[in-house]
Amino acid sequence: MSDAPALPKGILLPLAFVNFTIGAGAFLVIALLAPLTQSLALSKAQAGWVMGAYALAYAVSSPIVIALTGAWRRRAVILIGLGLFVAASLASAFATSATTLYAARVVVAVGAGMTTPVAAAIAVAISSPETRGSALSFVFVGMTVAQVLGVPGAAFIGYTYGVPAAFIVAAALGALMMIWIAFAVPSDVQFQPQSLATLGRTLLSPRHLVAVLLTVTIATSGYLGMTFMGPLAEYRLGMGRDGVALILGAGGLGAVVGNLLSGRLVDRLGPSGALILFLSGQALVLPALTLIPFNLPVGMALSFIWSLVGWGFTVPQQARLMAIDPATQGVMLALNAAGIYLGSGIGSAMAGAVYQGWGIEATGVVGGAIAALGIAHLFASDWLIRRKG
């Protein structure tokens, strides 16, 4: 019989479902980009900013809000964040213009930015030192499962019942999560308070900042390919609702497999070795995703492989960031989450510009080139970390 401490799944499970809800509510706009573009008469560049507005708002607000609420009870912060998420998801459902939709997505981002890093912090706080890594992976898998079920589910709901229905379902899930968290998460979870001073010191440290910015580089690369995956399948390849949902679903499954595989690769190759492998795969697969004219089976395979290498970076990157300085782990988790959304916002905006200027095929080529630059970024970051040590 194993003497290893058990994970407190009674608390971790609702936290994982919270991440699922936040992930599905954030990324559903990618699945619905084509009907959103039509219903609100958006240009290609404006369509890219639907996700971009959310992502940039998250990136800017999350570290600040986490620092400002750093002394509040963790359960209260999650409940407030989920309340904002619910209200703004409903506002997204009834948006009548690009401006009102962008404003609603900004508020959704603020709520999400209060929720996801605190869920990770609670997972660390309630777990033993021997199980903290497993606890983080357990909670984060909710975000990747959102790619499997949430995004294609949103595509099915949006194409069948209309775009507002998908936003309303996201709001309903958020409300259910509020009830679950209120009952499942203790109000007195112990934690190390963070502050604006901690955030400031972290941002002024070159080794911390360059390490976090690698997350931005990787996410920028991935979202250059992901943002217009639905329109790629619908407009260029003639697929309808079911084809778009299946391709996005295959990508979500690849994200889960990549997340699970990355832990083993970190153990065998180390965090940086695993990152080199994932970045190399992304540099090769992204151009293929947009350049190769594929049917449904090939499209599903490409989407699976892309998401596997594209999402596999999260575990090794988190391992790198948490090892730099244990005293700043809370802030680094918030900055890492912000980096993912900042990169997704930059990538989505760049995708819109590249699509408009050079065509949809070029989005994968540019994304692959940025993934290759990410390897050089990783080498520079590791050099700074070693130099400090």
Given a cut of 50, whether residue 2 has pLDDT beyond it is no
Given a cut of 90, whether residue 328 has pLDDT beyond it is no
Asked if residue 4 is part of any domain, the answer here is no
Question: Residues 52-98: pLDDT tens digits?
Answer: 788 788 888 888 888 888 778 888 999 999 999 999 999 999 988 88
pTM: 0.73
Asked if residue 78 is part of any domain, the answer here is yes
Q: Residue 6: its pLDDT value, please?
A: 59
Asked if residue 55 is part of any domain, the answer here is yes
Residue 138: pLDDT band (50, 70, 90) is: confident
Asked if residue 122 is part of any domain, the answer here is yes
Given a cut of 90, whether residue 357 has pLDDT beyond it is no
Asked if residue 369 is part of any domain, the answer here is yes
Q: Report the percent of the chain where pLDDT is more than 70.
A: 88
> Residue 202's closest CA among 77, 318, 319, 333?
333
- The CATH number for 226's domain is 1.20.1250.20
Stretch 368-372: mean pLDDT: 94
Q: Residue 14: its pLDDT value, please?
A: 93
Q: Report the percent of the chain where pLDDT is more than 90.
A: 26
> Residue 169's closest CA among 145, 151, 147, 143?
151
Asked if residue 1 is part of any domain, the answer here is no
Q: Residue 252: its pLDDT value, please?
A: 75
Residue 106: pLDDT band (50, 70, 90) is: very high
Q: Residue 38: its pLDDT value, please?
A: 78
Please state the domain count of the chain: 1
CB proximity list for 333: less than 8 A, separation 6 or greater: 117, 120, 121, 318, 321, 322
| CA-atom Rg of the chain in angstroms | 20
Asked if residue 184 is part of any domain, the answer here is yes
Q: Which domain holds residue 210?
A: 9-388
Asked if residue 326 is part of any domain, the answer here is yes
Half-sphere exposure of 334 (CA within 13 A, CB side): 30
Stretch 178-187: mean pLDDT: 92
Q: Residue 129: its pLDDT value, please?
A: 64
